[in-house]
Amino acid sequence: MINAEQMSAVLAALPDPVFLLSRSGKYVAIFGGKDERYYHDGSNLIGHTISDLIKKDKADWFISIIERALDTQALIIEEYELSNKDVKGLPDEGPSEPIWFEARVTPLDFKVDDEDVVLWVASNISPRHKLETQLREQSDTDLLTGLYNRRRLERELNYHFSAFQRHGHCVSLLMFDLDHLKVLNDTQGHQAGDQAICKVAQTCKDTLRQTDIACRFGGDEFVVILPHIKVAQATQTAQRLREAVENVFYDKNKANKKPITISVGVTEMVTSDTSYSQALKRADVAMYDAKHNGRNTVICK
C-alpha cells in the first residue's frame, strides 16, 4: 500500500496543476503543475479566492462551473482561455494570443471549512487549440479565393436567419457572378479565369465591412451576408462593390474588349420567409434579372 508521504509525492509530481476549490471559489490546496513549459508555481494562490485574482466576468464563469459540478454531482469538462486582461493587477498588454485550458472539474464528497469542494484539473491545450482552429478555418475556406466556402455560408445563413426570427435583426443578402467569364476562359484559358475570380474575391475583402460575410458559392458565383443592414443600404453596398470590380478590370487600352464585371442581386430577409433558402432564392432570381438586363448592374427583389 502506498503511504501518505508517497501519495503527497505523487500529487506534487503531476504535470498539470490540480486545484482544490471551494464552492465560493477559494483556493484550498494546489498540487502538481510540474510541467515548467506551461505552468508557474501557484502555491501563493492558497487562501485567496478566484474573485480576488480574476476580473468579475471571468471569475463569475469559474464560480458557475464549480456550482454546476457540485449541483449535478457530475464531471464537468470545459475549455476556456486566460490572458492578461482577465487577471487583476496586470496590464492589458501581454501575449498576442491567450492561453487555452481544458478544465476537468470533479465534485468531492467532503467539505473543507464547511464548504463543498471540487477538484479542478487544468491542462494547457494551447497548441492543440491552435491546430484545431487552423483545421476548422481550412475546412471553412475556399482554397482558390480565401473567402468562406459554401459549408460556412450555410452555417452563417442558419445563424443569421435564426437571429432575424428571434430578435428581428435585419439581414440582407447579395448574390452575384462574373460577367463575360466564359469569353475570358475561351480566349485566355481557365487560369486567367481563376485569376479573375481571385481578383473579385480580393475586391470583396477590400470593399466590404469586416462584419460582412463574403462566400464563394460555387464556380464564379458569390454570396455576401450583410448583418444589420436593410435592403436600401444593401443596394448601395452592391453598387459600391460593382463599381469597384469595374474599376479593377477596366483597361483603357482594351476598351473594345468585354471586361469582367459583376451582376448583383439584392434582397432582405422578410417575416414571410420560413427559411433562409427563400431569401437566397430571391437574390438568385434578382441576379439573373441583372444578367438579362445588360449585365454590370444591380437588381433588388
| Sheet hosting strand 99-112, strand order edge to edge | 27-32, 17-22, 115-124, 99-112, 76-82
Same domain for 62 and 26:
yes
The number of angstroms, rounded, from the C-alpha of 223 to the middle of its chain's C-alpha atoms is 18
Q: Residue 200 domain-assigned?
A: yes
CB 203 within 8 A of CB 248: yes
pLDDT at 68: 94
Same domain for 204 and 110:
no
Q: Residue 12 domain-assigned?
A: yes
Same domain for 254 and 274:
yes
Using one digit for the tens of pLDDT, what is the confidence trace for 2-16?
Answer: 888 888 888 888 899
Domain boundary among 105, 131, 157: 131
Domain boundary among 100, 131, 162: 131
CB 269 within 8 A of CB 164: yes
As a whole number of angstroms, the distance between CA 236 and CA 266 comes to 10
Closest CA to 203 of 229, 171, 176, 233: 176
As a whole number of angstroms, the distance between CA 90 and CA 73 comes to 35
Same domain for 104 and 24:
yes
pTM score, whole prediction: 0.61
Task: Say which residues have a Cβ less than 8 Å from residue 272's Cβ, sequence separation at least 6.
Answer: 278
pLDDT at 3: 86
Using one digit for the tens of pLDDT, what is the confidence trace for 86-100?
Answer: 888 765 554 557 899
Q: Residue 136 domain-assigned?
A: no
Provide the residue type at 162 as one letter: S
Same domain for 275 and 170:
yes
Same domain for 147 and 114:
no
Domain extent, residue 102, equals 4-131
pLDDT at 252: 54
Same domain for 120 and 59:
yes
259: confidence class by pLDDT, cuts 50, 70, 90:
confident
| CATH of residue 186 | 3.30.70.270
Q: Residue 191 domain-assigned?
A: yes
Q: Residue 266 domain-assigned?
A: yes
Same domain for 91 and 30:
yes
Q: Residue 100 domain-assigned?
A: yes
Task: Say which residues have a Cβ less than 8 Å from residue 216's Cβ, sequence separation at least 6.
Answer: 142, 144, 145, 147, 148, 149, 150, 197, 201, 222
What is the percent of the chain where pLDDT is above 70? 96
Domain boundary among 131, 155, 172: 131
| Sheet hosting strand 261-268, strand order edge to edge | 213-218, 221-227, 171-179, 261-268, 298-300
Q: Is the pLDDT of residue 157 over 60?
A: yes
Task: Say which residues have a Cβ less than 8 Å from residue 117's Cβ, sequence separation at least 6.
Answer: 20, 21, 22, 23, 28, 108, 110, 111
Same domain for 295 and 183:
yes
pLDDT at 258: 76
Count of the separate structural domains present in the chain: 2
How far are the Cα atoms of 50, 86, 123 from residue 56, in angstroms, in the given order?
9, 9, 22
Q: Residue 192 domain-assigned?
A: yes
Same domain for 194 and 96:
no
Same domain for 286 and 165:
yes
How far are the Cα atoms of 225, 257, 267 from residue 216, in angstroms, in the given order?
12, 26, 18
| CATH of residue 53 | 3.30.450.20
Q: Is the pLDDT of residue 253 over 60?
A: no
Least confident interval from 38-52, 55-69, 124-138: 124-138
DSSP 5: H
Same domain for 238 and 162:
yes
Q: What is the mean pLDDT of residues 78-107?
A: 81
